Amino acid sequence: MHFTSLPGGHGVGDLGPRAYEFADFLAAAGQKVWQFLPVNPTGYGDSPYQCFSAFAGNPLLISLDRLREQGRLATSDLIHAPHFPDDAVDYAACIDFKMPMLRCAAKNFFATASAFDRAKFDEFCETSRFWLNDYALFMACKEAHGGVTWTSWDSPIRKREPCALNEWSQKLERAVLAYKYWQFEFFQQWNSLKNYCSQRAIRFMGDVPIYVAHDSADVWAHPELFHLDEDGRASVVSGVPPDYFSATGQLWGSPIYRWNKFVASGYKWWIDRFQASLSLCDYVRLDHFRGFEAYWEIPAGEATAINGRWVKGPGEEFLRAVKNACGELPVVAENLGVITPAVEKLRKDFGLPGMTLLQFAFGNDPQGPSFRPHNYERDIVAYTGGHDNDTTVGWWNSSGASDSTRTAEDVRKEHEFAADYLDLKDDSEINWVMIRAVLGSVADMAIVPLQDVLGLGNSARMNFPGTVSGNWRWRFSAGALDRELSERLHHLANLYNR
């Protein structure tokens, strides 16, 4: 359950009171892990996998209620907030309201903050300077250029000429400070919530996407680490070949790493990224793990992902460097898609649990048998479905296959086999039958999307792979997490010794 899906929060879920209420629900329900999507500042398509920074936090998750409690905002600032939809995030309207509020809070902080709070801010800026300075200047410059991608900026600052960096830093000093303050406040609120959860034995599982967005502080600040042309545009891009979701593959469009450039520094950028992620979370899901063994490289300008090629990734050398720097890795390897014996060997050599999705267990996927609970190994995290899947109820009620490469006949056979395998009765609640199946398995960890706990249909789906708009919007309703639901989850957690 991603933070944006929480109720309240002035148009989008945030790190405020409703997050603490959700933590209380999890504790009462006997749950021990809260998994969420990347929490970085979202860019294109509002996707948490297309962010302006791999290190920064999303300012939209900052609670305005907490800022009001601190005196950074007045009650009168919030009293005229517009009406926002309860069941979905309207990102444009939310940004239009929240960003002026955050600017107001930044102005008040620098005008009225105590010496103690200023010292804490200065300390944060110093300890985070390895990413914060570039991020804050990147965002301030992006704002000054009307929001266009950095490759369209004035040439000197686009190329990070020293004189231009100094000139723009001075010219945009106030905006740069505001972006730094929002990061300071994000991490203050984050740490408070994380400590609250830790006290209730709830661990955070975050998400580290393999790629970063082209329009990001990471690529602008470190162009030498990516396959770019002389104008800063990607020469090859990321994606995956034809798969379950698309007959033409998935064209993600993010720039590909020049892995050989990381070797001289001992993979420092990646180590910094892992350490930053593990300071936020107890565990992380490493997205598209198979890309570290071999990745699908697509020439820039292609309309689909079909005309790509497999290229060998950094593999063992990379993971060894990260492990030597970070110690044992509390990492879940997302090993879905085209998985080869070499990918599985890499995962197991480093003792990383993989993933299994029960929705994939009943179709004609060659990996289907490994997704069936009687074939589970212990070193996996078992899911009913993931953020790219339909909800379990939506999947079960679908008579077609508009979201995948399956035919209507494939869907019929899939449902027929699932009903037989799960011993589904006519009056069974498919979501709870599937939840029981993963909780009752030998998998060391089992995680269920909140949509499946609530028994919601297709309209609650979080993401449709291959589409660029209308995703990441779902929110659950205030009052949906009642005592009956908590007791039902708690019973199953006890029943299966979870």
Residues carrying an active site annotation: 287, 334, 388
Report d(CA 68, CA 17) in Å as an integer.
12
Tokens of 55: 């290190």
User: Exposed (0-12), middle (13-18) or buried (19+): which is 165, by Cβ within 10 Å?
Assistant: middle
Contact 474, 5 (CB under 8 A): yes
CB 413 within 8 A of CB 439: no
Across-strand partners of 286? Answer: 208, 333
* DSSP β-ladder status, 33-35 and 203-208: parallel
Closest CA to 329 of 345, 355, 354, 351: 351
Half-sphere exposure of 98 (CA within 13 A, CB side): 24
Q: Of 427, 44, 367, 77, whose CA–CA distance to 216 is shortest?
A: 44
Q: How far apart are CA 294 and CA 265, in angstroms?
A: 21
- What the block records as the tokens of 193 is 């919530």
- For residue 242, the Cα-to-chain-centroid distance in whole angstroms is 23
Strand order in 354-357's β-sheet? Answer: 354-357, 380-383, 445-447
d(CA 379, CA 264): 33
Pairing of strands 283-286, 250-255: unpaired
CA nearest neighbour of 66 among 198, 192, 203: 192
What dihedral angle (degrees, nearest 10) is formed by the CA atoms of 424, 428, 431, 437? -40
